[in-house]
Chains A and B, each alone.
Chain A
Amino acid sequence: MSEILRVEHLKKYFDTPAGPLHAVDDVSFTIKAGSTLGVVGESGCGKTTLGRVVLQLQDKTDGKIIFDGQDVSSVDKKGWRALRDDMQIIFQDPMSSLDPRMSVREIIEEPLKLQRKLNKEERITRVKELMDTVGIAERFENAYPHELDGGRRQRIGIARALALNPKFIVCDEPVSALDVSIQAQVLNLLMDLQDELKLSYLFITHDLSVVKYISDEIVVMYLGQIVERASSAELFASPMHPYTQALLSAIPVPDVHAKKDRIILEGEITSPVNPRPGCRLAARCKYATEVCKNPQTPEEVAPGHYVSCCRAHEIRQ
């Protein structure tokens, strides 16, 4: 399978009065065409910023983005407008990501209008087609977002993202704002669309059950850095990084008699402003030693399984 997206040493720092905030710090990954890369991490770990920077909705500080074999890191604004045909985003909150003064049809039509390829009639046909694809009844075309429930609203957000026939979509927590019952519907819709339209997803979420369900590969982020990367099955079967282990131990098991070893990380998240070099988890990690103060490099512990922890092997034994 070919690569659709390759990100190398991507950095995004925000200027704050106290110093640069490392929202995304030296992140590299690849996404294979037609597959889903899940990004998990707690709130504030930079996963949303990562999605925005990949799409250049926010300027990156440094790094390389290669999309479909083309280096797009230094493409200007105009070039990015053309790239938006292929790269789209689905937002977290379907209420705030839809303009309250636009009807369903106007929202889905907007990208088509801006693309200036279709005439009015073709656009209307296309909107109907898209509504059908994402499963919104045609009678809703003149409704306004606030008149619809969360699931339908998110379907509109998906239809808008699909309007331009993209190859790659950043899904920024697309189901976190939805009911569990509707979450499943939307996730299934996204997976069906992936098969049908050969889409690739960068799927950002904090929900471990969601990421397990939808991802082919998963990266775990902590404070702006990727701590572990592996295929979905591999990661859940044998997490290597202490942070991943702690994270996975937090998944509830639906069995009252099950005995679980809950790994609880002590202390607070360290500040992402001006972080010290070395492992960012060190201050909270029970395995931390002097060597953890050195910068960590990802190490391949199994085929396709990378861990940024110098003590991963010791911990395993």
Chain B
Amino acid sequence: MKRQNRKKSQAAIVMKRLFRNKTAVIGMAVIIILLLIAIFAEQLMPYDYAFQDYYALFQPPGGDYLLGTDHLGRDLLSRLIYGCRISLVIGLFSVILSALIGGALGCVAGYYGGMTDNLIMRFLDVYQSVPAFVLALAMSSVFGYGVPMTILALGISGMSGYARMMRGSIMTIKGAEYIEAARAVKGNDLHIILKHIIPNAISPMIVNMSMGVGNAILMVSMLGFVGMGVPAPTPEWGAMLAAGRNYMRDSGYLVVIPGIAIVITVMAFNLFGDGLRDALDPKLKD
């Protein structure tokens, strides 16, 4: 009976190993804080993010407005807090969309191989020859402005990496002897895919996704910076950075503060992703 209690689920083991990794824990803590900020943005904002105080333009940090105000007298802190929600929503959902489209394409290509594989992969070759940012830019000019449209643009433009990764893992796993072993003990296709192929293929995907969120946030910011993506007055971090750059000489905090927010967020996701990769690898136990 004592032995029974020692049986730990794989998820519990992964969590335990994740918590042993200090940088991953820091990353995770930052992500949780950011998520809380995003969820409770309305309650946390000291002012409305679009409220313009014309008597307090370019207020430096400190004073009435904790992080100062921008060229229209809007509270930078409130805009940063609300922007967190925008950035996280776009970052998370565009990555999920990328992983779903790319994962499905990669699955089909890797599992069926041959002609199907060739068609899909050559299409992706062409697709990838266009730089990701240019592609995202083109997509968002096709789909238009707004949060859902930006998610769509980023999701579609980022899927090729996931497709390649999924195809690669599935091709490796498909040839493994334990797949044949599973077939020898009566496993049908569904059982093999669900119990053997997916569990073995999923961890590089999860790692890639967690790092992809940081990347996507950066991409949103870049889109915002060149004036695409989410329209004003929605406070998206990249757009804030772009707006602030005109006044950088006198009011440096207008670019420094959103810049720091982006760096912290991207780094948190990268640290977390790194830790997750180590924790998910059963061969690196202890």
Contact = CB atoms under 8 A, between A and B. Distances in A.
B178 A97 contact: yes
Interface in A168-226: none
Interface residues of B, number: 25
Interface of A: 52, 55, 57, 81, 84, 88-89, 91-93, 96-101, 105, 110-111, 114-115, 138-139, 141-142, 144, 146-147, 157, 160, 163-164
A96 B282 CA distance: 14
Interface string B188-215: 1001000110011000000000000000
B191 A114 contact: yes
Contacts of B184: 55, 57, 84, 88-89
Nearest to B181: A97
Q: What is the interface of chain B mostly: helix, strand, loop, or mixed? A: helix
Nearest to B7: A142
Contacts of B182: 99, 110
B8 A142 contact: yes
Contact of A142 (B6, B188, B195): B6
Given A115-B186, A164-B185, A96 B178 contact: yes
Contact of A97 (B7, B10, B177): B177
Given A101-B200, A144-B282, A146-B282, A57 B180 contact: yes
Given A141-B3, A142-B7, A101 B282 contact: yes
Contacts of A164: 185
A279 to B, nearest CB: 33
Shortest 6 CB-CB contacts between residues of A and residues of B: A111-B185, A97-B177, A96-B177, A114-B186, A99-B178, A97-B181
B218 to A, nearest CB: 32
B22 interface: no
A114 B6 CA distance: 25
Contacts of A57: 180, 183-184
Nearest to B280: A101
A114 B185 contact: yes
A99 B3 contact: no
Nearest to B183: A57
B184 to A, nearest CB: 5
B122 interface: no
